[in-house]
Chain A
């Protein structure tokens, strides 16, 4: 039922929304502002706004001092690779759980979700040792694997929710029409779930892109993505806030652009099935 909002009410909700949005956005804004200040200006107390010394030097220095393109490429490979690998495993898994559920399907889903509640650091030692033993440390394939495993529960959950919305009769019709299981998934289920798969993919690329714990712990130089690139600018000696901010801004820019252009798809994905 639509509720008519009075102009006053509208004003209050708009103000509230803007306030919340600004609170969320403030650290990012602060970081971007800091990235354009000199190091001295960045740490000045009280904080400087208009009186700050503005400069582009941080970007020049960060770009010059490191191999940004390599970090960027590693981030792309790890984020996209782990998401695609995750989808290959999750699509059949979510299909099975949505359309041929067993007695324990709900428990299985809850168990998978519960692994996301475990702090990552709890399994750091075993995973580190496994990586060491199999020569996966500081390799992109290693990070693809570990991030895929970290995000798999979310991918399966999201796809499961989408698949549940597809009427079972359509898949039965495909079966009556002579489609094998593979053809049913390829020609009927996947095309119908494309919007869902796309938003799952986008969200997981963002999650993988922003992941910092495993990417920093398991890499040194060769496979290090942008999260490690940022971390490398926090030096124990001297001033580094401005350069760290510049590095951070460079790291988030690509994913920000991706997020901006796909926000419609993302919002649909995140609220899918919320209203029914």
Chain B
């Protein structure tokens, strides 16, 4: 089981309020991603759940039991840190067995569990090495191994992939997703990378300045952002936000159109191509349209336009409407 309930959880460091009060329910077996810009409080929120920080007020329940004042070890959660935080003086085997040793498990059972975890994570041939002799990806696997042997109620991941190079990151992302499929244990994953959030999550929690802006499934957030912040944060390249007369035509203060929802060729908007990036599968172009500003456009395959070309654009998909407070209409 791994149901986590936060009720009015507040955190202040002295006078500075980092999290003004959060209510959130995480269901058993869910993969929840906390996403937001740096400094939004996502890591603090994770550390509050872990018990590494004390809440200023509010209640944290794990499987229906009040865990607000429990020390980290008593919460039944396992955490994977950004820096991996492996014990450098212990072998991989001892690193993975450490939580079991602390729990006072018989040695035979410890060994069996370590073997099992190592097999799942392809670490069997590295068990007698020390962390210093492993690559970044292998270290990350050891950190995950140390988390899974305990069979925790939930896993907490604090930006676990940010120290890996791009190629490895994609691979590990898939491995963690597969791990979730097979273990079916609750996972809470913190990242600032919205691609990780979109690809891995069952449920995304978008945070900004310590507040939850929106909670929902990835595509729900993509299709129906509740406000301008979520609209701008989810999706890459960023959604085009247009104010003024063009927005007024749609009876809104601001309108938002995703770059992939703009067609090139014919249309009401005319502008000059600034930057153009051709990836083969996609083309990203920035078009300076007088009166609207810079418009991001994403097209499939080769768009055939280049820097300095004068082109016409048309909205060709959903237009998101926002009021003067930035809320969706």
* Interface, chain A (partner B; CB < 8 A): 167, 169-170, 172-180, 183, 187-188, 191-192, 194
**Which residue on A lies nearest to B146, using beta carbons?**
A177
Is B77 a contact partner of A176 (Cβ separation < 8 A)?
Answer: yes
Q: Which residues of B contact A (CB under 8 A)?
A: 50, 52, 71-73, 77-79, 81-83, 85-89, 98-99, 102-103, 146, 150
Q: Which residues of chain A are within 8 angstroms of B87 by Cβ–Cβ distance?
A: 170, 173-174, 187-188, 192
Across the interface, B50 reaches (CB within 8 A) one of A176, A187, A188, A191, namely: A176
Contact B52 A175 (CB under 8 A): yes
- The CA-CA distance from A192 to B52 in the complex, in Å, is 21
The answer to whether A167 touches B71 (Cβ under 8 A) is: no
Q: CB-CB < 8 A to A183: which residues of B?
A: 102
Task: Among A172, A173, A188, find the residue whose CB has the most chain B CB atoms closer than 10 A.
Answer: A173
Q: Which of A173, A180, A191, A194 contacts B85 (CB 8 A)?
A: A173
Q: Are A176 and B83 in contact (CB under 8 A)?
A: no
CB of A172 within 8 A of CB of B103, answer: no
Instruction: Write the nearest CB–CB distance from A187 to chain B, whole angstroms.
Output: 8
Question: CA–CA, A180 to B52, complex, Å?
Answer: 14
Q: Which residues of B contact A187 (CB under 8 A)?
A: 87, 98
- Report the Cα distance A191→B88, complex, angstroms: 9
Is the pair B73, A177 in contact by a Cβ cutoff of 8 Å? yes
What's the A-B contact tally at a CB cutoff of 8 Å? 61
B89 and A176: CB pair below 8 A?
A: no
With contacts A177-B102, A177-B146, A178-B99 taken as known, whether A172 is within 8 angstroms of B89 at the C-beta atoms is no
Query: Does the CB pair A169–B83 fall under 8 Å?
Result: yes
A180–B73 CA distance with the chains assembled, in angstroms? 8
> What's the nearest-Cβ distance from chain B to residue A173, in Å?
4
Q: What are 19 A-B pairs at a CB distance below 8 A?
A: A167-B83, A167-B85, A172-B52, A172-B85, A173-B81, A173-B87, A174-B87, A174-B98, A176-B50, A176-B77, A176-B79, A176-B99, A177-B73, A178-B102, A179-B73, A183-B102, A187-B98, A188-B87, A192-B88
A75 to B88, CA, bound (A): 37
Task: Give CA–CA (A176, B102) in the complex, Å.
Answer: 10
Contact A169 B81 (CB under 8 A): yes
Contact A176 B72, CB 8 Å, known A167-B83, A169-B83: yes
A172 to B52 alpha-carbon distance, docked (Å): 7
Residues of chain A contacted by B50 (CB below 8 angstroms): 176
Which 7 pairs between the two chains have the least Cβ-Cβ distance? Answer: A173-B85, A177-B99, A178-B102, A178-B73, A169-B85, A191-B89, A176-B79
Min distance, Cβ A155 to any Cβ of chain B, angstroms:
22
Q: Which of B72, B83, B103 has most chain A Cβ within 10 Å?
A: B72
Return A175 CB to nearest CB of chain B, in Å: 5
A178 and B101 alpha carbons, distance in the complex (Å): 9
A174 to B143 alpha-carbon distance, docked (Å): 12
A176 touches B73 (CB 8 A): yes
The winner among A174, A177, A191 for most chain B CB atoms within 10 A is A177
Minimal beta-carbon separation of B109 from chain A (angstroms): 15
A162 to B89, CA, bound (A): 16
